[in-house]
Amino acid sequence: MATLKEIAIKTGVSITTVSRVLNNDSSLSVGDDVRQKILKAAKTMQYKTPRNRVRLKSSKEFSIAIIHWYDVEQEIDDPYYMQIRRGIEQLAGKSNINVKLIYKKEYGYQIEDFESVNGIICVGKFTKDEVKLFNTASENLVFVDSTPDESKFDSIVLDFTLAVKSVLNLLIDKGYKKIGYIGGIEYLSQNIRLGERRELVFRDYLYQKNMLITKYIHVGLFSSESGYLKMKEALAAKDHAEVYFCANDSIALGAIRAIHESGLRIPEDIGVVGFNNSPTSEYTFPPLSTVHVNTEFMGEQALISIIEQLEGRSIHIKKVIPTNLVIRQSIK
């Protein structure tokens, strides 16, 4: 079975161009003759994309590490990262790739954690010192949900700007005037707080439209319990929003519980929108409108990036994964 490097040599183009053609990258500007030459060579040489490979006992096995910026309990509370990990593991199970899981510990990450691994997939956000440690352990790195340095590392990220604007445009089109937000705070460490991207876009976009009402913004943690408490806090005020956009589905689930307990109806009295389209979102009462995130696909793309690096690709790629709205009965 051919590698990207072998096809690049055969066709006289770069490994990156071969990769982008075979992965149907629509943004690539390349002539039809070059594209056809690559596709013909790939077919003749029996190339298979990493996503379509099956285990070949005679081929070389690789070992990769999946690093979480969460600990085990946090991953359970927020299924977003669990689903990314599942995507990596499912594709690895079809290839000659062994997976080692490394969760965040109180004492941090140690260089010994990465013994005998050929590549590292870093899921979440990490400090500069942590990124330096990972790069010391392996030259083959890919970051999922963050981009520490586009010139040095592959990354797989979401288009948060487009996703949040799509939600807000939908709510505005439906006639909502008072739009609220319930989100969470992210920390790299006890002393390093991150700006939350959904909240930043939310504030900026509604400000531009002269619709931002800051008293309708409530920020806690990325958990159902926090969503519950923050919605109770919002409803306790004399004036609350007509609809709340929640930074993830876990927060939305807690918010829905608080609304039901208050005696208000969804969506007649108040609307709720989530983010992630977690497996439970369609079974809430009423079913939750949310943003579908292709989490397992993000994991697959991370593993594909590692495989391509192991096959010789040295130019780094940033893959921006689109989202789409799932409209259910939690908004009018």
Q: In the chain, which ranges are E strands?
A: 62-68, 97-102, 119-123, 141-144, 154-158, 179-184, 186-189, 192-194, 217-220, 243-246, 271-273, 290-293, 318-321, 323-326
Reported as a single tens digit per residue, the pLDDT across 96-138 is 789 999 988 877 898 888 888 999 999 999 989 999 999 999 9
CB 266 within 8 A of CB 239: no
pLDDT of residue 59: 46
Q: Is the dihedral of CA 149, 151, 153, 158 positive or negative?
A: positive
Q: Same domain, yes or no, for 153 and 299?
A: yes
Residue 57 binned pLDDT confidence (cut-offs 50, 70, 90): very low
Reported as a single tens digit per residue, the pLDDT across 191-213 is 555 557 899 999 999 999 999 99
Tell me: pLDDT of 54 over 60. no
How far is Cα 301 from Cα 51, in angstroms, rounded to an integer? 9
Tell me: pLDDT of 222 over 50. yes
For residue 329, being part of any structural domain is answered with no
Classify each residue of 164-187 as buried b or exposed e, where b means 16 or more C-beta atoms within 10 Å of its C-beta: beebbebbeeeebeebbbbbbebe
Q: Same domain, yes or no, for 257 and 167?
A: yes
Reported as a single tens digit per residue, the pLDDT across 7-44 is 888 888 888 888 888 776 666 677 778 888 888 888 78
Residue 276 binned pLDDT confidence (cut-offs 50, 70, 90): very high
The CATH number given to whatever domain includes residue 237 is 3.40.50.2300
CB 122 within 8 A of CB 109: no
**Total tally of structural domains belonging to the chain:** 3
Residue 272 sits in which domain range? 160-293
Q: Same domain, yes or no, for 207 and 176?
A: yes
Query: Which residue type does 32 have?
Result: D
Q: Same domain, yes or no, for 169 and 264?
A: yes
Q: What integer is the mean pLDDT of 217-228?
A: 94
For residue 53, being part of any structural domain is answered with no
Q: Of 85, 76, 48, whose CA–CA distance to 303 is shortest?
A: 85
Q: Same domain, yes or no, for 25 and 70?
A: no
